[in-house]
C-alpha cells in the first residue's frame, strides 16, 4: 500500500504520516518499505486513470515519489503509530490481510501468473491479426469502389478509409501512428516493417515487454532477431520470455545490452546488406498505439554505421 493511502486510513496528512515513519526509519528495511521509481509512478497513474498527486489529498506541489509498504512494513507501522484510531485501523488491516490470504488459498485453481501471461500474448496476437484482416477488407472495398467508379461514376471509396486518415478525430487517435508521414494502425506498422526483413532485425529499445515479442511472432525463423536493451522500467522478465518461446518455439530472439548509449528507439532491417533499412521510432513497440507517435525511415544511414557495429559487440542481456 502507498503512503498516502495509509495516511488516509490512519487519519494523518501524508506529510505528517511520513514524518512519523522517518522518526523510526531504522524499523523499515527495504523489504518493509521502498520508494517508487518514476516509471512505477507513471504506470500506476495510467492504471488508475489519474495522477498520484491528486490521490488521497496529496498536494499538487509535492515533488517526491510515494513510498510503498509491504505487508511486513504495515505490521511495523502498527508499532509506530499511536492513538485510538491507529489501534482500530491496525486491527482492521490485520483482518483484511487474513481474508485475502484465505481467499488466495481457496482459489488456487484460478488463473495464475503464467496463464495470465499466455492469455496476454494471445490477446495481443489476436488484435494484430484482426487489424490485418480489417486492412485487407478496406483494400477490397477500395478496389471494388474504383471498379464501380470507372463503370458508372457512382460508387466512391470507402468512407471508413477516408476517416482513418483523419487523425484529428479523437476516436481514431488511439491505435494509430504515422509511418513515414502516413497514418496506419500501429500494430500493422511494425508488422509491415518486420515483413521486409530477409536476413536480420535489430531492435534498439530500452523499454521492452511481452508485446515487443508478440509483434515479432510472424518473422520467419530464418531471420535473426536481436533486441538491444537495458530493460528499464517494469521490464521484460525471464518467465515472460519462456512463455513466449513455448507459444512460438520457432521464433528465437537474442538479447544484448544497449549500454546506456541510446535514448531513442530504432529498428534496423538487414544490417550490412544491400537491402539495409533503418527506422527511427518515437515510442517503444510495447506501447504502440497508446498515443500519437511516428516511425520514420532514416535517409542518411552512414552516421549509424559505427553505432550499430559497436552495439553488436555489447554483452548479453540477462532478463530479470
Predicted confidence pLDDT, tens digits, the chain (320 residues): 888 888 878 778 888 888 989 999 998 888 899 988 888 887 776 655 444 544 444 444 456 789 999 888 888 888 888 777 777 777 777 777 777 666 665 655 555 555 656 666 666 665 565 556 556 656 656 665 665 565 555 444 444 444 444 555 554 456 788 899 888 888 889 999 999 999 999 999 999 999 999 999 999 999 999 999 999 988 899 988 998 998 899 999 999 999 998 999 999 999 999 999 999 999 999 988 777 889 999 999 999 999 999 999 999 999 98
Q: Do the Cβ atoms of 305 and 202 come closer than 8 Å? A: no
Integer Cα distance of 179 and 182 in angstroms: 5
Q: Do the Cβ atoms of 285 and 205 come closer than 8 Å? A: yes
C-alpha cell at 24: 523510526
CATH T-level topology, domain 174-311: Endonuclease; Chain A (3.30.870)
Q: What is the pTM of this model?
A: 0.54
Residue spans per domain, the chain: 3-106, 174-311
| Coil, helix or strand at residue 13 | coil
Integer Cα distance of 136 and 130 in angstroms: 10
In 206-304, alpha helices (H): 210-214, 238-247
Integer Cα distance of 87 and 20 in angstroms: 15
CA distances from 92 to 9, 74, 75, 96 (A): 10, 12, 12, 6
Integer Cα distance of 184 and 162 in angstroms: 12
Amino acid at each position: 500500500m502507498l503512503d498516502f493511502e495509509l495516511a488516509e486510513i490512519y487519519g494523518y496528512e501524508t506529510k505528517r504520516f511520513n514524518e512519523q515513519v522517518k522518526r523510526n526509519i531504522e524499523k523499515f528495511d527495504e523489504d518493509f518499505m521502498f520508494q517508487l521509481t518514476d516509471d512505477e509512478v507513471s504506470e500506476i497513474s495510467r492504471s488508475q486513470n489519474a495522477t498520484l498527486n491528486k490521490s488521497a489529498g496529496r498536494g499538487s506541489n509535492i515533488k517526491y515519489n510515494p513510498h510503498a509498504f509491504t505487508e511486513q512494513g504495515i505490521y511495523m507501522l502498527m508499532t509506530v503509530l499511536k492513538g485510538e484510531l491507529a489501534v482500530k485501523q491496525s486491527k482492521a488491516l490485520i483482518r483484511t490481510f487474513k481474508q485475502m490470504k484465505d481467499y488466495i488459498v481457496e482459489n488456487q485453481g484460478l488463473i495464475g501468473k503464467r496463464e495470465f501471461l499466455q492469455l496476454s500474448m494471445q490477446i495481443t496476437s489476436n488484435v494484430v491479426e484482426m487489424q490485418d484482416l480489417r486492412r485487407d477488407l478496406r483494400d477490397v472495398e477500395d478496389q471494388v469502389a474504383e471498379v464501380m467508379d470507372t463503370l458508372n461514376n457512382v460508387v466512391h471509396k470507402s468512407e471508413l478509409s477516408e476517416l482513418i486518415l483523419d487523425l484529428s478525430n479523437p476516436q481514431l487517435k488511439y491505435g494509430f501512428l504515422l509511418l513515414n508521414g502516413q497514418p496506419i494502425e500501429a500494430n500493422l506498422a511494425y508488422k509491415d516493417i518486420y515483413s521486409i526483413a530477409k536476413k536480420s532485425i535489430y531492435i534498439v529499445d530500452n523499454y521492452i515487454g511481452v508485446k515487443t515479442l508478440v509483434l515479432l511472432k510472424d518473422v520467419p525463423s530464418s531471420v535473426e532477431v536481436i533486441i538491444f536493451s537495458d530493460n528499464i522500467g517494469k521490464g521484460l522478465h525471464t518467465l515472460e520470455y519462456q512463455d513466449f518461446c513455448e507459444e512460438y518455439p520457432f521464433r528465437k530472439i537474442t538479447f544484448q545490452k544497449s549500454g546506456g548509449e541510446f535514448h531513442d528507439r530504432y529498428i534496423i532491417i538487414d544490417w550490412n546488406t544491400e537491402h539495409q533499412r533503418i527506422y527511427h521510432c518515437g515510442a517503444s513497440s510495447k506501447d504502440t498505439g497508446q498515443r500519437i507517435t511516428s516511425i520514420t525511415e532514416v535517409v542518411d544511414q552512414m552516421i549509424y554505421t559505427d553505432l550499430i557495429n559497436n552495439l553488436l559487440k555489447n554483452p548479453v542481456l540477462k532478463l530479470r
